[in-house]
C-alpha cells in the first residue's frame, strides 16, 4: 500500500481525464475562445489564497485548495481538448471560402495500390488572388506518378484544389468507424488528388529533426531489405524494430493477432526497454563521477527519444520513453519513485501534449498492460516459489504474460472481438527468438562491414521465419482463438468493475465486497444471456450499404443466409458483412450467390424473386423477365439493381410495391434520374449507396 501523498499525479490525473472526456463530447465555441482565460482566472485565485495561507488561517480549510486545483485541472483538460480539435477554430480551412489549399505533408506517405496516402496540414487558402492564413488537417489520397518523377515526402509544401469531402461514417452495423478513428487524430475531411492536380511549391519545410529521423529510417529499412534474403522477414524486422508496418504481410499480422502476440509488432515498452538496456550496459563505465553521470543520463534520454521518433512516435512508445526518462533521472538523483505515480506523470504530460491520446486504442492498451504488470505480476509471481533459477525465470515470465492479459483482455474483447486461448504458450515460445531478433536487428543496423552483414542478415531472416513458423503452427491448432466475441459498453464497464471489486476484496477480505462482486457477475451474465436470447429470436432482413456491390442477409432462429454478388475472400465481406453477423452472434452463416436459385423452409430466391417468411422482394435488373398477367405483381420491396433501363412509371404499372431500394451497383446518373422521377410520382425511395443499411424487422 501507499499514502496518497506518494501519488499526487494519480490524484491530478482524475479531474484532467474527466475534463478531456467532457471536452471531447460536450465542447462548444465559447470554451475555445475563453477556456484558457478561465484557467488563468482560477490559477490567480489559487495564488491569491496561497499568499493568504497564514494570514487568513486557510490551513484550517485545506479542502479549498483541493477544490481549486481539481477545478483548474478539469477546466484545463476541457480547454486543451477543445482547442486541440480545432472544430471551433475560426481559421479552420473548412470555414473559409477557398479555391486552393496550401498544405504541407505532415507524415511519411504510404504507397498502396498505386496511391500515396498521407496527412496534410493546411496553413493557407487561396481565393480571388488572395492568400489567407488557415489551419486544420486533411487526409490526402494522391494518385502515384507512373513515371516516378515525383514522390511526396515529409515536409513538402503542396497546393491543391479546395475540393474535399467530409469523412464518411460506418454505414453497416458493427462496421469499423474510420471517421471516429480519424476524428481522434483531428482529421475531419479527405481529398483525392489526381496526378496532375497539384503543384509542389517547395520541399523540406517540416521539422528538420523529424525529417532527419524519417530519412534515417528509410535508409535503415533499405538496409534490412538489402541484407535479409526473405522480404517478408525484412518487412517484419522493419515493423518490430523501426515501427514501419506498410509492407507487412496480412497473414503474418493475423497470426500474431490470433496468438496473442500482437504487442510484438507494435513498438512499445518492450522495444524501448531493450534499447535502454543496451545503452545502460554500453555507458556503465560513466557511473564514476557526477559529471559523467549527467552526460550518461543526457545520452540515454536523447537516444531513447530519438529512437521513439524514428519508430513513429506512437502513444505507447511515448509512454515508455517518458517513463524511462523519469526513471533514469530519478536514479541519477538517487530518488525512490512510486510506480503508479510514474505512470500517472507520463500520462499527465502526454495529455498536455495531445489530450486525444486518451481515445487511442494503443494508448489505452499500453497503460492497462503496464498497470497490470505493476499490480498483478508481483502477486501472481509470489503464488509459487522455485529454487531453480531457470524455473523461477520461466514462472516469472508466465506471471508477466498473465498479468498483462488480465488487465487488457476486456478492452481487447471490446475492440477486437477475439481472445487467444494459447497466448501463454505463444509468448513463452517466442520470448527468446524475439529478444534475439531485437538485439541482432539493432546490431545489423549499426555494423558497417558487409562481410559481417551478409551472414548476420541470413541469421536474422532465419530467426524471423522460425518465429513466424511457430506462430503459424499455434494459429492452426484447434481452438487457437475465440473469435466473434462482441460485448457492448455496459458489459465492458461491468467486466472492469468486477475485476476492480475482486482486487479490492483480495485486499480487504470483506464479505460485503464479495457480495458486490457476485452481484456484478450475475448482472454481467444476465446481460450476456439477454443478448443471446434476443439474437436467437431475431428475424430481420438487412440490405447492405456497400460501395459497388449488392448484398442482402436474412436471419431467423440464430441462423443467417447472405445473398451477395461477391465471395468471402473479398475485403467487402470481411469489412462490411462479417461484423454485422458476428455482432448478432449467429451460430450458422451461409454465403450464397445472389443470382443463384435457393430454397429452404423459410426463404427462397431465383435471382429476381425472393421471399423471406411472408416478406416478398423483387430485384429488378437488366435480365429480369416477368410473366404476362393482367394482375399487378405485389411485393413489399422493389430493388433496382445493375442499371435497368425502364422508367419507374413503367415498372409501377405492372408491379405494386411499398418502397424502392436503389442498390450501389447502379450509376450515379441513373440514381439521380430515379430520385427525380420518384419525387414526381410520390414513391418512397431509399438509396443504399452512402446511406445506412436498410434493416427490416420481420
Domain ranges of the chain: 4-85, 93-206, 211-358+419-483, 360-418, 489-536, 540-697
Beta strands 115-127 and 130-133, pairing class: antiparallel
Q: Is the pLDDT of residue 629 over 80?
A: no
CATH superfamily of 540-697: Ribonuclease Z/Hydroxyacylglutathione hydrolase-like (3.60.15.10)
Q: Which residue has the higher pLDDT, 692 or 89?
A: 692
- In contact, 135 and 188? CB cutoff 8 Å: no
- pLDDT on residue 3: 57
Q: How many angstroms separate the CA atoms of 138 and 193, rounded?
A: 12
pLDDT, tens digit (0-9, with 9 covering 90-100), for 211-269 = 888 888 889 999 999 999 998 899 999 888 888 876 778 888 888 888 888 888 877 77
C-alpha 404/C-alpha 1 separation (Å) is 21
User: What totals of helices (H) and strands (E) does the chain contain, helices first?
Assistant: 21, 25
Collapsing DSSP states into helix, strand and coil, what is residue 260? coil
Determine the pLDDT at residue 48.
65
Q: What is the Cβ-side half-sphere exposure of residue 610, based on CA atoms within 13 angstroms?
A: 22
Mean pLDDT of 13-21: 92
> How many CA atoms lie less than 13 Å away from 236 in the CB half-sphere?
27
Q: What is the pLDDT of residue 196?
A: 82
DSSP string of 14-82, one letter each residue:
HHHHHHHHHHHHS--HHHHHHHHHHHHHHHHHHHHHHHTTTTTTGGG-HHHHHHHHHHHHHHHHHHHHH
Q: Please determine, for residue 336, whether its predicted confidence score (pLDDT) is greater than 80.
A: no
Mean pLDDT check: name the lowest of 274-288, 363-377, 394-408: 274-288
Average pLDDT of the segment spanning 177-188: 91
Q: Which of 270, 506, 495, 269 is nearest to 380 (CA)?
A: 506
Q: Are strands 187-193 and 137-143 parallel, antiparallel or unpaired?
A: parallel
CA distance linking residue 74 with residue 66, whole number of Å: 12
CB distance 164 to 190 below 8 Å? yes
Radius of gyration of the chain (CA): 30
Q: How far apart are CA 677 and CA 660, in angstroms?
A: 12
Q: What is the pLDDT of residue 93?
A: 92
- For the ranges 88-97, 598-607, 624-633, the lowest mean pLDDT is seen at 624-633
Decide: helix, strand or coil at residue 686. Answer: strand
* pLDDT score of 100: 93
291: Cβ contacts below 8 Å, ≥ 6 apart: none
Pairing mode, strands 559-564 and 588-593: parallel
Each as own residue / partner, the long-range contacts of residues 319-322 (CB below 8 Å, 24 or more positions apart, any chain) are 319/269, 319/346, 319/347, 319/350, 319/363, 319/366, 319/367, 319/370, 320/268, 320/269, 320/271, 320/272, 320/273, 320/366, 321/272, 322/346, 322/349, 322/350
**Angstrom distance (rounded) from CA 220 to CA 443:** 12
Query: What is the predicted pLDDT for the residue at 407?
Result: 92
Residue 642, pLDDT score: 92
Q: How confident is the model at residue 60 (pLDDT cuts 50, 70, 90)?
A: low
Specify the pLDDT at position 622: 86
Beta strands in 233-380 (DSSP E): none
Interacting residues of 367 by C-beta distance below 8 A, sequence separation 6+? 319, 343, 347
Q: pLDDT digit string (tens) for 273-297?
A: 778 877 887 787 777 777 788 888 8
DSSP 92: B
User: Does residue 258 or residue 71 have the better pLDDT?
Assistant: 258
Mean pLDDT within 38-57: 64
Tell me the C-alpha to C-alpha distance, in Å, between residue 472 and each of 84, 230, 530. Answer: 42, 17, 36
In this prediction, residue 30 carries a pLDDT of: 62
pLDDT at 520 over 90: yes
74 contacts 18 by C-beta, under 8 angstroms: yes
Please compute the mean of the pLDDT values over residues 534-539 and round it to a whole number: 90
Percentage of residues in the chain with pLDDT exceeding 70? 92
Give the pLDDT band (50/70/90) at residue 31. Answer: low
Residue carrying the nine cell digits 492452426: 476
DSSP 577: I
Which band of pLDDT confidence, cut at 50, 70 and 90, is reported for residue 59?
A: low
Tell me: pLDDT of 552 over 90: yes
* Beta bridge pairs of residue 159: 102, 199
Structural contact between residues 395 and 377, judged by C-beta atoms closer than 8 angstroms: no
Identify the pLDDT of residue 528: 93
The CATH code for residues 93-206 is 2.40.50
Distance CA 417, CA 13 (A): 29
Q: Is the pLDDT of residue 171 over 90?
A: yes
Residue of higher predicted confidence among 192 and 36:
192
Kindly give, in sequence order, each residue whose CB lies less than 8 Å from that of residue 288, ignoring residues fewer than 6 positions away. none
pLDDT at residue 293, rounded to an integer: 82
Q: Are strands 615-620 and 659-662 parallel, antiparallel or unpaired?
A: unpaired
* The predicted structure's pLDDT at residue 63: 66
pLDDT of residue 320: 82
- CB-based contact 139:167 (threshold 8 Å): yes
**CB 109, CB 68: distance < 8 Å:** no
pLDDT of residue 129: 84
Distance CA 611, CA 617 (A): 6
- Give me the count of residues in the chain: 698
Residue 626 reports pLDDT greater than 90: no
Residues with Cβ within 8 Å of residue 442, at least 6 apart in sequence? 241, 274, 275, 278
CB 66 within 8 A of CB 9: no
Mean pLDDT over all residues of the chain? 86
Choose between 315 and 92: higher pLDDT: 92
Rounded-to-integer distance, Cα 165 and Cα 183, Å: 14
What are the pLDDT digits (tens) for 418-436? 899 999 999 888 888 888 9
Extract the C-alpha cell encoding 51. Answer: 499568499
Q: What is the pLDDT of residue 294?
A: 84
Q: What cell was used for 123?
A: 496553413
- Please tell me which residue, 675 or 587, carries the higher pLDDT value: 675
**pLDDT score recorded for residue 214:** 85
Per-residue pLDDT of 460-487, as tens digits, reads 999 999 999 999 999 999 888 888 889 9
Nearest to 629 by CA among 656, 597, 658, 611: 656
Q: Are 424 and 401 in contact (CB under 8 A)?
A: yes
**Long-range Cβ pairs for the range 341-347 (8 Å, 24+):** 341/6, 341/7, 341/8, 341/9, 341/10, 343/367, 343/370, 343/371, 343/374, 344/7, 344/9, 344/10, 344/12, 344/13, 345/9, 346/319, 346/322, 347/13, 347/319
Q: What percent of the chain has pLDDT over 90?
A: 41
**Ramachandran assignment for 178, one of left (phi > 0), alpha (psi -120 to 50 degrees), beta (any other):** alpha
Chain position carrying cell 490567480: 44
Mean pLDDT for the stretch of residues 108-127: 88
Amino acid at each position: 500500500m501507499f499514502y496518497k501523498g506518494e501519488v499526487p499525479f494519480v490524484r491530478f490525473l482524475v479531474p484532467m481525464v474527466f475534463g478531456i472526456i467532457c471536452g471531447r463530447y460536450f465542447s462548444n465555441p465559447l470554451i475555445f475562445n475563453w477556456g484558457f482565460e478561465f484557467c488563468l482566472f482560477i490559477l490567480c485565485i489559487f495564488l491569491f489564497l496561497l499568499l493568504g495561507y497564514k494570514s487568513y488561517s486557510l490551513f484550517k480549510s485545506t479542502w479549498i485548495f483541493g477544490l481549486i486545483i481539481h477545478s483548474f485541472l478539469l477546466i484545463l483538460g476541457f480547454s486543451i481538448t477543445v482547442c486541440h480539435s480545432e472544430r471551433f477554430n475560426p481559421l479552420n480551412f473548412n470555414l473559409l471560402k477557398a479555391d486552393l489549399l496550401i498544405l504541407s505533408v505532415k507524415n511519411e506517405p504510404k504507397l498502396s495500390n498505386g496511391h500515396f496516402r498521407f496527412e496534410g496540414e493546411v496553413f493557407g487558402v487561396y481565393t480571388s488572388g488572395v492568400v489567407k492564413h488557415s489551419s486544420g488537417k486533411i487526409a490526402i489520397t494522391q494518385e502515384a506518378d507512373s513515371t516516378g518523377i515525383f514522390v511526396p515526402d515529409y515536409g513538402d509544401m503542396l497546393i491543391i484544389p479546395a475540393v474535399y469531402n467530409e469523412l464518411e461514417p460506418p454505414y453497416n452495423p458493427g462496421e469499423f468507424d474510420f471517421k471516429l478513428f480519424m476524428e481522434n487524430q483531428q482529421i475531419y475531411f479527405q481529398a483525392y488528388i489526381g496526378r496532375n492536380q497539384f503543384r509542389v511549391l517547395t520541399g523540406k519545410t517540416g521539422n528538420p529533426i523529424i525529417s532527419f529521423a524519417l530519412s534515417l529510417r528509410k535508409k535503415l529499412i533499405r538496409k534490412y531489405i538489402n541484407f535479409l534474403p526473405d522480404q517478408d522477414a525484412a518487412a517484419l524486422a522493419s515493423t518490430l524494430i523501426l515501427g514501419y508496418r506498410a509492407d507487412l504481410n496480412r497473414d503474418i499480422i493475423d497470426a500474431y493477432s490470433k496468438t496473442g502476440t500482437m504487442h510484438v509488432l507494435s513498438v512499445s515498452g518492450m522495444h524501448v526497454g531493450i534499447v535502454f538496456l543496451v545503452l545502460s550496459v554500453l555507458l556503465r563505465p560513466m557511473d564514476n563521477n557526477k559529471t559523467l553521470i549527467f552526460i550518461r543520463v543526457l545520452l540515454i534520454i536523447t537516444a531513447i527519444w530519438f529512437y521513439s521518433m524514428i519508430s513513429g512516435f506512437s502513444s505507447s512508445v511515448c509512454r515508455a520513453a517518458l517513463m524511462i526518462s523519469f526513471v533514469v533521472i530519478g536514479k541519477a538523483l538517487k530518488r525512490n519513485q512510486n510506480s503508479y505515480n510514474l505512470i500517472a506523470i507520463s500520462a499527465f504530460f502526454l495529455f498536455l501534449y495531445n489530450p486525444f491520446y486518451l481515445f487511442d486504442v494503443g494508448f489505452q492498451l499500453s497503460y492497462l498492460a503496464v498497470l497490470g504488470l505493476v499490480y498483478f505480476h508481483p502477486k501472481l509471481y509470489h503464488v509459487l516459489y522455485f529454487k531453480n533459477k531457470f524455473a523461477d525465470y520461466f514462472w516469472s515470465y508466465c506471471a508477466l504474460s498473465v498479468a498483462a492479459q488480465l488487465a487488457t483482455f476486456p478492452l481487447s474483447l471490446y475492440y477486437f472481438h477475439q481472445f487467444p486461448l494459447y497466448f501463454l504458450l505463444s509468448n513463452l515460445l517466442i520470448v527468446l527468438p524475439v529478444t534475439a531478433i531485437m538485439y541482432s536487428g539493432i546490431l545489423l543496423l549499426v555494423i558497417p562491414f558487409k562481410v559481417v552483414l551478409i551472414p548476420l542478415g541470413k541469421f536474422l531472416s532465419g530467426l524471423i521465419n522460425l518465429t513466424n513458423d511457430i506462430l503459424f503452427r499455434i494459429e492452426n491448432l484447434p481452438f487457437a482463438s475465440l473469435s466473434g466475441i462482441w460485448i457492448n459498453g455496459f458489459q465492458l464497464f461491468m467486466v472492469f468493475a468486477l475485476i476492480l471489486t475482486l482486487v479490492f476484496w483480495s485486499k480487504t477480505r470483506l464479505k460485503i465486497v464479495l457480495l458486490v462482486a457476485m452481484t456484478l457477475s450475475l448482472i454481467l451474465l444476465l446481460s450476456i444471456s439477454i443478448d443471446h436470447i434476443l439474437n436467437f429470436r431475431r428475424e430481420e432482413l438487412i440490405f447492405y450499404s456497400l460501395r459497388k456491390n449488392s448484398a442482402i442477409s436474412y436471419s431467423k432462429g440464430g441462423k443467417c443466409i447472405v445473398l451477395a454478388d461477391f465471395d468471402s475472400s473479398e475485403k467487402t465481406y470481411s469489412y462490411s458483412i462479417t461484423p454485422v453477423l458476428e455482432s448478432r452472434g449467429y451460430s450458422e452463416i451461409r454465403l450464397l450467390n445472389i443470382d443463384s436459385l435457393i430454397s429452404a423452409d423459410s426463404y427462397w430466391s431465383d435471382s429476381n424473386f425472393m421471399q423471406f417468411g411472408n416478406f416478398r422482394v423483387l430485384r429488378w435488373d437488366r435480365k429480369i423477365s416477368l410473366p404476362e398477367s393482367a394482375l399487378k405483381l405485389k411485393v413489399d420491396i422493389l430493388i433496382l439493381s445493375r442499371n435497368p433501363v425502364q422508367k419507374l412509371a413503367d415498372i409501377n404499372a405492372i408491379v405494386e410495391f411499398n418502397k424502392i431500394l436503389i442498390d450501389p451497383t447502379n450509376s450515379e446518373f441513373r440514381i439521380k434520374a430515379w430520385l427525380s422521377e420518384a419525387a414526381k410520382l410520390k414513391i418512397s425511395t431509399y438509396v443504399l449507396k452512402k446511406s445506412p443499411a436498410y434493416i427490416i424487422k420481420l
